[in-house]
Amino acid sequence: MPLKTNTLYEKIADDIALQIKAEVYKGGEKLPSIRQLSRQRSVSVATVQKAYELLEDRRLVEPRPKSGFYVRAIDRKSPSQKVDLLGLPNQVQIHNMATDILYACEGEGITNLGTAYPSIEFLPIKQLQRIMRKLIQLEMKDLVVAHFSSGLRQLKHQICRRLAEAQCQVDEEEVIVTNGCQEALTLCLRAVSKPGDTIAIESPAFVGLLQAIESLGLKALEIPSDCVEGISLEALELALDQWQIAAVALVPAFNNPSGSDMPLDNKKHLVELLSQKGVPLIEDDLFGDLAHDGFRIPPAKAFDKNGLVLYCSSISKSVAPGFRVGWVCPGIYTAKIEGLKSFTNVSASSIAQASVAQFLSTGAYDRHIRHLRKEYANHLEWFQKNIELHFPLGTTISAPKGGYILWIELPMQCDTGKMFYDAIEKNVSFLPGKLFSTSSKFSHCLRINCSVSINDDISNAIVTLGQIAHRHT
């Protein structure tokens, strides 16, 4: 991103920012004093003062009373994996570990920052109650009988309408309702691959995707990705040349766990690239509706001309995780996935489908989502600030522009897998980084779910995690 320079103090600020980026000054180091800099640059003290204030606004530096300005030790913007060397396709073996950890997260008395379910306070209980009371009164028969179908017509209609608002045209015939997004992902993987095949994924990648890959006997090839723009398309292209890849499976919007948001141009380029190679893309857009600024970037599916994008999503992050309603729009794989779905479990629960269709059909969903976006932006801000306060120097935190998940990189010597059990002993949980990769390269990272009610328990949990992190540093 080229720096736009307007005034003298902005120019000075940009120069210092570049030096920080180049690690001329490292996290926690003292910057030149205002007087020094004023002399070096032959500018007024006031100008330097303004430059530092700007850097403070940008959260790059922080003032310390009676001491001067320091490079912020904790960087929200770039807990980035550098685009490193491409690894090999790997067997995935995280299931047993993941199961133990996920169950521990939900244990009695645990302040759960691990599993990424939204907190009850963010779910539209009253509206759903109203909708369901009516459905049970008026349409009970239809809800109880079975339909040999790939989903309720009215729900498919709403899904297409919402996708059209995101500039993505999908026909109702292409929509298959699933038991949540996880099922959509599993069905897609089954449709495009056979055991032993390789799936290219982000690094870090969504733990549920890794588990699905493991359960189907597939291999995962992790493609270097960063926490801002997501997967490196250069690295992906290299991988596609080098390996036989059955499919690419990504979370382009507000990635879980990294928080990255793939720019529109990248999405377009990605779809073109895969189209040339004839490789299908499984797009997990679970958080797509939760952009904090309310701006819905079209999904990659919007650029799909050849039906090679299998688009997956659900309402589990915004409306009712317990309902298990998701969907997939699988392009040329529609017939295949319809079959796989029907003999996996016939169809999704009718009452859940009908309730969601009804909720999506009114303005209530839009109002609900608008509220959620603001709340999640505030929650992330609160967590970021508190983590900055309590975590060790050298910590970096993701800065997602949507969703409610934070990805935290601790100093390299921290082993968050070990920290996890210390945390559980103190009745706090998170997800350790090793769940998000086939390698150990994220073993100093952790994921935090910020969709929780902020209260003393949560404040204390962050303090506790900070203390544990300090001990492991």
Q: Which residues contact 106 (CB under 8 A, 6 or more apart)?
A: 112, 114, 115
According to CB under 8 A, which one of 111, 178, 318, 464 is a site residue for a second copy? 178
Nearer to a second copy, 1 or 144 (CB): 144
Does residue number 186 form part of the binding site for a second copy (CB under 8 A)? yes
Distance of closest approach, residue 176 Cβ to a second copy, in angstroms: 13
Does residue number 107 form part of the binding site for a second copy (CB under 8 A)? no
* 184, 327 contact by CB (below 8 A): yes
According to CB under 8 A, which one of 348, 410, 448, 450 is a site residue for a second copy? 348
Does residue number 125 form part of the binding site for a second copy (CB under 8 A)? yes
- Residue 70, classed as helix, strand or coil, is strand
Residue in the structure block whose two tokens are 């009695």:
108
User: Using the 8-state DSSP alphabet, how is residue 391 labeled?
Assistant: S
Report the sign of the C-alpha dihedral through residues 343, 284, 114, 293, in that order.
negative
Report cis status (omega within 30 of 0) of the bond before 298. Answer: no
According to CB under 8 A, which one of 76, 219, 324, 373 is a site residue for a second copy? 324
Q: How far apart are CA 285 and CA 326, in angstroms?
A: 11
Judged by CB under 8 A, the number of residues near a second copy is: 65
Q: How far apart are CA 183 and CA 314, in angstroms?
A: 10
Does residue number 453 form part of the binding site for a second copy (CB under 8 A)? no
Nearer to a second copy, 37 or 105 (CB): 105
Residues pairing with 402 in the sheet? 291
According to CB under 8 A, which one of 193, 198, 203, 211 is a site residue for a second copy? 211
CA angle 169, 255, 378 (to 5 degrees): 105
Site string for a second copy, 64-103 (x = CB under 8 A): -------------------------------xx--x--xx
Q: How far apart are CA 382 and CA 262, in angstroms?
A: 24
Question: In the range 303-322, which residues lie near a second copy by CB under 8 A?
Answer: 316, 320-322
Does residue number 147 form part of the binding site for a second copy (CB under 8 A)? yes
Q: How far apart are CA 211 and CA 176, in angstroms?
A: 22
Binding residues for a second copy, rule: CB under 8 A, are: 95-96, 99, 102-103, 105-106, 115, 117, 120, 123, 125, 128-129, 132-133, 136-137, 140-149, 178-180, 182-183, 186, 190, 194-195, 208, 211-212, 214-215, 217, 316, 320-325, 335, 338-340, 342-352
